[in-house]
Amino acid sequence: MDRIRIVGGNELHGVIPISGAKNAALPLMIASLLTDDTLTLENVPHLADVEQLIRILGNHGADISVNGRRERQGESYARTVHFTSRNIVSTTAPYELVSKMRASFWVIGPLLAREGKARVSLPGGCAIGTRPVDLFIEGLAALGANIEIDGGYVNATAPAGGLIGARYVFPKVSVGATHVLMMAATLANGTTVLGNAAREPEVVDLAKCLNAMGAKISGQGTSTVTIEGVRSLSGARHRVLPDRIETGTYAMAVAMAGGDVILEDTEASLLDTALEAIRRAGAEISETNSGIRIVRNGAGIKPVDIVTDPFPGFPTDLQAQFMGLMTRSSGVSHITETIFENRFMHVQELARLGAKISLSGQTAKVEGVSRLKGAPVMATDLRASVSLVIAGLAAEGETMVSRVYHLDRGFERLEEKLTRCGAHVERVSD
Ligand code: EPZ
């Protein structure tokens, strides 16, 4: 199994190209099941989760081709992928496929809308909390679906004439349930109004793509999204938006290691709250024509308290990385996680590098230390694992991160992107 070896101490200088967002690409790919025409997605990141979803969509009958000619984008390669689901050959998403990635559960929306039925295994995914699916079930039931849970599967059936537009207010903000309800409602009879909807940029990107396919969605990016049902959707061409979590991760890496880096092909407006926290920690951040420049020269890292929240709040997907940064601050910071109840698994691994962190309920108290020391550590989930890489960049000596398959789920060419900026990071295959 591959490991990542980091020798800390080098500053980062150079340009890091930001990939297309994993968490936008996944729902966009799933949206291709809504039409028998071709959906072409540009800027699709090459990640284990994307490959896994390609297998899942293939199981439903999607014909998928990746452009032979890879689109050059800085040092990285963004792929253009064509999805054509002329016929849905199966409305079942089996346990073997869905258990590997939670987002694959989301196929329930398009399958139900287009075929009138879906049988989808209850999901798996990163072990960061219980992550129930009650909001999906309640929301789809509001659109008239009949839903039963049997033997680990959700069996959903639409009324004879198809799903029916309705008003549904989410009792809690959920990105995935907003994606699914939005997709399902595009082909429903009548108008659906979703209240307390997620406002994440990935939801906006999905709505934009669905509208390009002929859907009638408005209000995306606010907490009330309105979807007027249409009879059918067509193909479209859509560019996946930049990955704000990858952007924030590298910004924090520079804040941690010091240096001067341009994050290319991304937008500051996707992560204002996180950038503000990094700024308060002592880095200088400015916008460039094509992205963001981040500089930390000499200044120490200041302690900053954060609380994770749905967009536009501080993203839970950057919480572990920010904690990594705070381990070297000059004081005490508090990091509160409000989205997932078990997203602190990086704490004990960061402690192996010498970090001083104590947990009290949903809040971690991080007492900054003047030095971290490299050690063997283990990746526990996607974002936790990259927090160990960030800490390793500033630790003395060698940090060896094992179980890097977690990293490969969500970070495209991580070691290459960091190495080109002067970091000592390499993949070691046993
Ligand atoms: C998306 O997960 C992201 N995944 C996550 O990123 C991200 O952490 C999360 O949104 C929050 O921003 C993808 O986009 C593929 P939620 P999702 O439904 O949609 C509870 C990463 O590292 N909830 O917004 O699964 C849930 O348990 C991943 O890239 C219910 O209670 O998250 C959580 O506490 C990890 N019932 C909260 O809502 C439900 O039916 C928010 O979850 C659904 C969710």
163 has pLDDT over 50: yes
pLDDT band at 124 (very low <50, low <70, confident <90, very high): low
Alpha-carbon gap, residue 32 to 116, rounded angstroms: 16
Rounded to the nearest whole angstrom, what is the distance from the C-alpha of residue 167 to the centroid of ligand 1? 22
Which pLDDT does position 77 carry in this prediction? Answer: 58
Does the pLDDT at position 190 exceed 80?
yes
Mutation probe of ligand 1 site: the residue of 131, 182, 247, 362 with most atoms within 8 A of C-beta:
131
Residue 72 pLDDT greater than 80, yes or no: no
- The CA-CA-CA angle for residues 33, 37, 39, to 5°, reads 70
pLDDT at 75 > cutoff 80 = no
pLDDT tens for 238-265 read: 999 999 999 999 999 999 999 999 999 9
Beta-carbon contacts of 240 under 8 Å, excluding residues fewer than 6 positions away, are 20, 21, 24, 25, 28, 41, 42, 43, 44, 45, 205
Tell me if 172 CB under 6 Å of ligand 1: yes
- Please give the pLDDT value at position 253: 98
Least confident stretch, 57-71, 324-338, 372-386: 57-71
C-beta of 255 in contact with ligand 1 (< 6 A): no
- Angstrom distances, CA of residue 167 to CA of 6, 102, 343, 413: 51, 26, 32, 43
Name the pLDDT band for 405 (thresholds 50, 70, 90). Answer: confident
Please tell me the pTM assigned to this model: 0.96
What is the distance between the alpha carbons of residues 269 and 193, in angstroms, rounded to a whole number? 26
Read out DSSP for 66-93?
A: E-SSPEEETTEEEEEEEEE-SS----EE
Question: What pLDDT does residue 64 have?
Answer: 94
Q: How confident is the model at residue 100 (pLDDT cuts 50, 70, 90)?
A: confident
Ligand 1 close to Cβ of residue 263 (< 6 A): no
50 Cβ below 6 A of ligand 1: no
pLDDT at 155 over 70: yes
- Residue 150 DSSP symbol: E
The interaxial angle of helices 319-326 and 272-280, nearest 10 deg, is 10
Q: Please write the tens of the pLDDT for every residue from 284-298.
A: 999 999 899 999 988
83 lines ligand 1 (CB under 6 A): no
Distance 113 CA to ligand 1 centre (A): 22
| pLDDT exceeds cutoff 60 at 130 | no
Q: Quick one: pLDDT at residue 164?
A: 98
Contacts of 302 (CB under 8 A, 6+ apart): 280, 281, 282, 329, 330, 331
Residue 258 Cα, ligand 1 centroid: separation in angstroms?
Answer: 32
Gap from CA of 176 to ligand 1 centroid (Å):
6
Give the DSSP H or E segment for 253.
Answer: helix 244-257
Residue 68 has pLDDT above 60, yes or no: no
Share of the chain above pLDDT 90, in %: 87
Average pLDDT for residues 63-73, to the nearest whole number?
A: 64
Cis amide prior to 312 (ω within 30 degrees): yes
Atom of ligand 1 nearest to the CA of 23: 14
244 lines ligand 1 (CB under 6 A): no
Classify residue 196 as exposed, middle or buried by CB count within 10 Å of its CB (0-12, 13-18, 19+). middle
Confidence category of residue 1, pLDDT binned at 50, 70, 90: confident
Residue 172 CA, closest ligand 1 atom number: 38
**CB of residue 171 inside a 6 A radius of ligand 1:** no
Q: Give the mean pLDDT of 27-31.
A: 98
pLDDT at 79: 87
Q: Are 398 and 374 in contact (CB under 8 A)?
A: yes
Q: Whose CA is nearest to atom 26 of ligand 1?
A: 131
Whether the per-residue pLDDT at 83 is higher than 80: the answer is yes
pLDDT value at 138 more than 70: yes
Active site residues: 126
pLDDT band at 299 (very low <50, low <70, confident <90, very high): confident
CA distance 352 to 355: 7
Q: Is the pLDDT of residue 74 over 50?
A: no
